[in-house]
Amino acid sequence: MFSTKNNTTDVIAIPDEYVDMAILYLEHIRDSQFALGDLLVQLVDTYGGLKAPVINYMAGKTNRAPTTLYDYEAVARRWPREYRERYPNLDYTIFRNADPVLDEELLNSAADEDMSPTKFKELKYPALLEPSNVLRNALYALGRITFNDERIDKIRKLIEDILKDLN
């Protein structure tokens, strides 16, 4: 391994064995998420559809957020194995945002183009990129800044003025 300074950026070279390990782990993450989702579907079905008690019990026993487990169960239920196998290289986040039947055309494009989850979501939900929505998100982000700075207040005011003009 080596590191050199290139202006203000470090340039590094990581041995292929580490890159290969990362790729292996990443390839198995999606399968593990679906395996957990499949298990949760099986448990919910076994316990008569009592989703909340099953999810909450498993969340407590595994020290995971119930919302995460609800998500795994819902995605696995929406994506039966025969549908998932059509898109073996898609990121799990795309599965979370897609319907295997309604979004078939977009899913095929995502698979053909090795599309990122962000790009997929933008194509599926074009309203996300509408200027007023982007500006509202910026205001929300600015609202999360906890220190006082008049420049931030000026930016907030400018965004609010632009939003008024858009409406």
76-124 pLDDT, tens digit per residue, is 999 999 999 999 989 999 999 999 999 999 999 999 999 999 999 999 9
Q: Does the predicted model carry a pTM greater than 0.75?
A: no
Residues 26, 105, single domain; the answer is yes
Confidence of residue 146 (pLDDT cuts 50, 70, 90): confident
**Banded pLDDT at 1 (limits 50, 70, 90):** very low
Looking at the structure, tell me whether residues 49 and 14 fall in a common domain.
Answer: yes
Residue 94 and residue 117 in contact, taking contact as beta carbons nearer than 8 Å: yes
Any domain includes 28: yes
Whether residue 52 lies inside any domain: the answer is yes
Strands 9-13 and 2-6 come out as antiparallel
pLDDT at 47: 95
The residue segments making up the domain with residue 56 are 2-114
Note the pLDDT of residue 5: 55
- Is 125 domain-assigned? no
Residue 158 shares a structural domain with residue 101:
no
Same domain, 63 and 144: no
In a domain, 72, yes or no: yes
Q: Per the structure block, which two tokens stand in for 18?
A: 């580490």
Whether 44 and 109 map to the same domain: the answer is: yes
8-53 pLDDT, tens digit each? 667 888 899 988 888 888 778 888 999 999 999 999 999 999 999 9
Alpha helices in 114-149 (DSSP H): 117-124, 131-143
pLDDT over 60 (residue 2): no
Longest Cα–Cα distance in the chain: 62
Do 41 and 70 fall within a single domain? yes
Quote the tokens at residue 159. Answer: 């965004």
